[in-house]
Structure 1
Amino acid sequence: MRVLVAEDHRVLARTIAAGLRRQAMAVDVAASGDEAERMCQLTAYDVLILDRDMPVMTGDEVCTRLRELDDPPRILMLTAAGELMDKIYGLTTLGADDYLAKPFEFAELVARVRALSRRAPKPSPAVLRFGSISLDEARREVSVDGRLLELTPKEHAVLHLLLVAGGAPVPHDELVRTVWDEHLDPRTSAVRATVSRLRGKLGAPGLIAVDKGEGYRLCE
């Protein structure tokens, strides 16, 4: 899942981004409204966490303008304006998909982001399967031949992407963009290291093949 955090309070933005990355989300950060709009035009984000009080272009303006896109991200307004009428205005007039007032509990923010991502036009099935591998989205459980595995958030996200591909190659750059974020050097060994650990946990290294020039894919 790819998320953009549009928040001009640098410490809060970094804190939110770091927390979401620990949940295996790829996170980018925008410090102004115009930057957030530009990034959403260039990148297909699943969810935009948007502060209403942004410099250069307000969050309200960003929300309204993004609704003109053919495939806009789901927008979660995160703001100190938490009165009932503020929420109604954000959800109805501005067209936000969800609204969370500050201060907030981080666990609730994560739950709302995940809920918004499930509203995509083409949701993935609740349980993804390929050969002996099974990934239960709702329970966040992965098993091989019925044996439950303990995966890190990154390993889980990589396997999810490979399962969605259904045996087709997933390019290295796509894994970087989707599982990590824009600040990761594409030449990094992080992807290879994560895939290597995932192979070991699956118990059969041959389940994930490496096609030079193509990427990684699952094998029967």
Structure 2
Amino acid sequence: MRILIIEDEQKTVAYLRKGLAESGFIVDIAYKGDEGLFLATTREYDLIILDVMLPEQDGWSVITMIRQNKIQTPVIFLTARDAVHDRVKGLELGADDYLVKPFSFSELLARVRAILRRGPTRQPEILRIADLEINLLRHKAIRGGQHLDLTPKEFGLLSLMAQRAGEVLSRTLIAEQVWDMNFDSDTDVVDVAIRRLRRKVDDPFEKKLIHTIRGVGYVLEER
């Protein structure tokens, strides 16, 4: 599942990106309102997290344009504006939820999952590749009927590969999505993470699902 964050505060962005990636989501970022509106209207997302006070175009304007374009992607306002009239305004403009900063990530994640359970999403809650089953909302992975004991980072990596099964993912892309944008993909951290994931996902089973494409990256698929 893919989430768009429209937020100009870099510390908040880093905090959200890390937590959501570890929870199995693919995350795109826009630091300006007009950039966020462009992404929201040209790409498909399962949910948008939107600040109000943004450069170039504020959150009120962004959600107004999103809804005027007949885009029904769920939107959560995440903002320091805590007045009742601001909350009412956000919801009346078409937001699905409104959370005030400072916030608890666990509460935000619960709200995200609750919204995603309400209606149809562009990707299923459960992904299946061969005998591998990944429950994105419950944060569980099973292969051949056996529960896989994955760390949050491993689950985020596996979820990313499963959501883009059959697509070769470069080390840089994996680093950006599972770690952060400034991650140095020249290091072997991605390769080490893949090796550890293989030990749990592939090594106990005859059929291998994680494949290396030399000089390019990795792909999750049944062969």
TM-score category (smaller protein):
0.7 to 0.9
Q: Could you list the runs of 5+ residues in structure 2 that have no partner in the other structure?
A: none
- Distance in 2, matches of 1:184 and 1:41, equals 28
Higher mean C-alpha deviation, range 47-56 or range 71-80: 71-80
Structure 1 counterpart of 2:195:
196
1:210–1:217 Cα contact (<8 Å) kept: no
Structure 2 counterpart of 1:150:
149
Higher mean C-alpha deviation, range 50-59 or range 177-186: 177-186
- Distance in 1, matches of 2:148 and 2:44, equals 31
1:76–1:98 Cα contact (<8 Å) kept: yes
- Distance in 1, matches of 2:91 and 2:154, equals 35
Structure 2 counterpart of 1:63:
63
Higher mean C-alpha deviation, range 14-23 or range 53-62: 14-23
2:212–2:219 Cα contact (<8 Å) kept: yes
Cα distance 1:30–1:155, how it changes in 2: closer, same or farther (>3 A)?
A: same
Cα distance 1:186–1:39, how it changes in 2: closer, same or farther (>3 A)?
A: farther
2:24–2:159 Cα contact (<8 Å) kept: no
Matched to 1:196, the amino acid is: R
Residues 14-50 of structure 1: CA deviation (Å, up to 9, x unaligned): 3333433443434344333223223434544433221
Q: Could you list the runs of 5+ residues in structure 1 that have no partner in the other structure?
A: none
2:22–2:178 Cα contact (<8 Å) kept: no
Matched position secondary structure for 1:206: coil
Structure 2 counterpart of 1:160:
159
Write out aligned runs for 1:201-212 (5 A): 201-202=200-201, 203-204=204-205, 206-210=208-212
Structure 1 counterpart of 2:134:
135
Provide the TM-score with structure 1 as the length reference.
0.74
Residues 96-142 of structure 1: CA deviation (Å, up to 9, x unaligned): 12211233222111222233344444441x54444432333443222
Q: CA deviation at 1:64?
A: 0.9
Q: CA deviation at 1:178?
A: 5.8
2:50–2:59 Cα contact (<8 Å) kept: yes
Indicate the percent of aligned positions where both proteins have the same amino acid.
34
Q: CA deviation at 1:70?
A: 5.8
- Distance in 1, matches of 2:29 and 2:139, equals 26
Matched to 1:206, the amino acid is: K
- Distance in 1, matches of 2:44 and 2:126, equals 24
Cα distance 1:45–1:138, how it changes in 2: closer, same or farther (>3 A)?
A: closer
Aligned residues: 216
Matched position secondary structure for 1:56: coil
Cα distance 1:120–1:196, how it changes in 2: closer, same or farther (>3 A)?
A: farther
Structure 2 counterpart of 1:4:
4
Provide the TM-score with structure 2 as the length reference.
0.73
Residues 154-205 of structure 1: CA deviation (Å, up to 9, x unaligned): 432343355456xx61221596376566656777755544333222112237
Matched position secondary structure for 2:88: helix
- Distance in 2, matches of 1:33 and 1:114, equals 24
Structure 2 counterpart of 1:219:
222
1:2–1:179 Cα contact (<8 Å) kept: no
Structure 1 counterpart of 2:103:
104
Write out aligned runs for 1:168-183 (5 A): 169-173=166-170, 176=174, 179=178
Cα distance 1:75–1:189, how it changes in 2: closer, same or farther (>3 A)?
A: farther
Cα distance 1:218–1:106, how it changes in 2: closer, same or farther (>3 A)?
A: same
2:51–2:78 Cα contact (<8 Å) kept: yes
